[in-house]
Amino acid sequence: MKFQKFNILDTKGTQETEIEVLFNLDHIISIKPIRINRPDKLLNGFWIRTTNGKKYRASKIPDELLSVIGEKYQGQVNMTVESDEQPFQ
């Protein structure tokens, strides 16, 4: 088993918190870059799907996986352009 730390967004009611979770990398099926809308900002993040069918929104993933996917998909989005269809930066 190979465990790595992820930062997951946990939504309870109207409150959203960020928690650290250890995932077994052998049980991750897919990681997809997404946009995460927070009340104060827009983030580049990841949609993680595991073998048990659960899905998680992550704001940070391990550097080992980030180097494969691309560092441009993590972090806050710079909103200098007024457009609903701004590409990933």
Radius of gyration for the chain, computed over Cα atoms and rounded to the nearest angstrom: 14
The token duo for 78 is 């710079």
Number of domains in the chain: 1
Which CATH number belongs to the domain containing residue 55 in this structure?
2.30.29
How do the pLDDT tens digits run along the chain, 89 residues long? 799 999 999 887 777 888 999 999 999 999 999 988 877 778 888 999 999 999 999 988 998 888 887 766 666 666 555 555 555 55
From CA 3, how far away is CA 24, in angstroms rounded? 4
Q: For residue 55, is it within any domain?
A: yes
Q: For residue 82, is it within any domain?
A: no
The stretches of the chain forming alpha helices (DSSP H) are 63-69
Q: For residue 85, is it within any domain?
A: no
Q: Which domain holds residue 71?
A: 3-76
Q: For residue 83, is it within any domain?
A: no
Q: For residue 56, is it within any domain?
A: yes
